[in-house]
Amino acid sequence: MHRRHKGSNIGLFLLLSQIFQVGVSNIPPVTLAALAANVFLFLQPVKRLDKTCISVTECLYRRDWHRLYLSPFHHVDDWHLYFNMVSLLWKGIKLERRLGSFWFGYIITIFSLLIGVVYMLLELALAELLDVPSYKQSCAVGFSGVLFALKVLNNYYHPGGSSNVMGFIISNKYACWLELVAIHLLNPGTSFAGHLAGILVGLMYTMGPLKMLMKACSGGFRSQTDFSEQRNRYNSGARHYGNERRPYGFWLPPEEPSVEELRRQRLNRFERW
């Protein structure tokens, strides 16, 4: 999330160049649709930014609830769009392939709305605790809150590794917290509460009840990851998984077998019988 200022279109051209370098056919459908929606609304915004940004005053007090779903998909300028969409491109490719397109689209939809709610609660709490009414008028737009939530999910589904944040090498488990502070220090115009809201929603999904609630509300639909985990448990039996471990000492299974590999395994078992 970000506050408003003018920019050029260099970032937009760089974004389109990045997309074509990756290859449109290599981008999963929901990720591609989210990219297209953000670019389209940047070029043809539904309303002015001061009519789409989300704040306690405008959304909660004045009941302009449209801002909840408009604010994530509008951006301040082309550079704001560029950095957010490049981040979405790489996170989306990994997560959508892991979770499946339906579930990833469901996550994008719920997170976009819920992060706005959490953002307003944070700003309201800051205004009351610090006795600074201006927090209630603080208005933000942009997809970065959702991206912080997706970063939490990406680290959950793809554990391990490290990141370089301002010259510090830090585990990916904690990188989002350092990035939260670093981005705000380097660019004070960004919304600290908006980014924090994204992290909190991501944690509500990976460590809290949000994932269970989403499953209950989806009519029993199960994500591709759920099927993969169940299939791995079924196929593994009492099999041991080498020496690769998750953070905190949990076992990390190897890459899930492809459909072709599973078919060969079944044929081999049949031939042995």
> Is 260 a residue whose pLDDT tops 60?
no
Give me the helix-helix angle, 192-206 and 101-129, nearest 10°: 130
- Give yes or no: 144 in active site: yes
Sorted by where each starts, the structural domains of the chain and their CATH numbers stand as 10-217 (1.20.1540.10), 224-272 (no CATH)
- Alpha carbons 163 and 106: distance in angstroms, whole number: 28
Q: What is the pLDDT of residues 84-126, one digit of tens each?
A: 999 999 999 999 999 999 999 999 999 999 999 999 999 999 9
- Give yes or no: 112 in active site: no
**Among candidate residues 135, 108, 161, 145, the one with its CA nearest the CA of residue 2:** 145
> Is 228 a residue whose pLDDT tops 50?
yes
Confidence of residue 199 (pLDDT cuts 50, 70, 90): very high
**Among candidate residues 72, 99, 105, 110, the one with its CA nearest the CA of residue 209:** 110
Contacts of 224 (CB under 8 A, 6+ apart): 98, 99, 100, 103
Neighbouring C-alpha atoms within 13 Å toward the C-beta of 206: 18
- Catalytically annotated residue among 2, 55, 195, 223: 195
Q: Which residue has the higher pLDDT, 139 or 254?
A: 139
The CB density around residue 104, as the number of other CB atoms within 10 Å, is: 24
Q: SS3 string of the chain? A: CECCCCCCCHHHHHHHHHHHHHCHHHCCHHHHHHHHHHHHHHHCCCCCHHHHCECHHHHHHCCCCHHHHHHHHCCCCHHHHHHHHHHHHHHHHHHHHHHCHHHHHHHHHHHHHHHHHHHHHHHHHHHHHCCCCHHHHCCEECCHHHHHHHHHHHHHHCCCCEEEECCEEEEHHHHHHHHHHHHHHHCCCECHHHHHHHHHHHHHHHCCCHHHHHHHHCCCCCCHHHHHHHHHHHHHCCCCCCCCECHHHCECCCCCCCHHHHHHHHHHHHHHC
The answer to whether 142 and 75 have CB atoms below 8 angstroms apart is: yes
Q: What is the pLDDT of residues 26-84, one digit of tens each?
A: 999 999 999 999 999 999 998 999 999 999 999 999 999 999 999 999 999 999 999 99
- Catalytically annotated residue among 55, 112, 144, 223: 144
The one-letter amino acid at 237: G
The CB density around residue 180, as the number of other CB atoms within 10 Å, is: 17
